Amino acid sequence: MNAAIVTGAAQGIGKAISIKLMQQGIFVFVLDFDDEALMDFSDEVSFKNAFTTMLCDVGEPARLQETITTCISGKYPIKYLVNNAAIACNKPMEDLNFEEWNRVISVNLSSYFFTAKYLAGALRKSRGSIVNISSTRAFMSEQNTEAYSASKGGVVALTHALAMSLQPSVRVNCISPGWIDTEPWQKKSRRNQTHWPPEEHLQHPAGRIGMPDDIANLVWFLLSEEAGFITGQNFFCDGGMTRKMIYR
């Protein structure tokens, strides 16, 4: 059995990715800094012997390195890394302070580099694969999203840089999700089920809002040997919205 590390894994897209990997027979290290979400994950996910939850703030370098070292020393070889952890601090740029900016960059971008750095030896040995989760916000923006957008743009560039540095043993790819309805995948205290009106779905060329499984399925394809000739690439998974010309 091979193992995977997924960051931001206890809820939302990360939870769907973790479950998808377990369905493929992969042991998953479920990293998250939300203890409540980790407890809900442990209670709800049926693959009891296929994962271990780990409380880890990936924005804290020393804690991240310690956690990765623990994963490497585990029973199964690490073959897959999915960098998914992300936070936002969306506010007018005049109000965004240095600490808030740095916190977003640390979690959303720096942690992606350092997980790859700490795992490079293990992934080369297993001829593994990395998938980074960016966002369509790397390519288009709303107001007051400077830190988040900058971090996600950095993820796209980091992906192709890592692909060159880790070649030929490790492939590295990136996914940029669009609007993904993660409400049903949140921890219990935040879980919700919004019934979006038809016009919200139909604005997407694909005819619907995205679901976490849409991202999880693409993650597994890119990690797997079926994508063995793909590296250094970014893939939009957004129902076609980044290709839609919109005028008010």
- CB atoms under 10 Å from CB of 72, counted, come to 16
CA distances to 117, 215, 227 from 231, rounded to whole Å, are 17, 17, 8
Task: Decide if 85 contacts 106 (C-beta within 8 A).
Answer: no
**Residues designated as active site:** 148
Beta strands per DSSP E along 56-207: 78-83, 129-133, 171-177
Exposure string of 137-173, with b = 16+ CB inside 10 Å and e = fewer, is: bbbeeeebbbbbbbbbbbbbebbbebbeebeeebbbb
Q: What is the DSSP string of 134-150?
A: --GGGT---TT-HHHHH
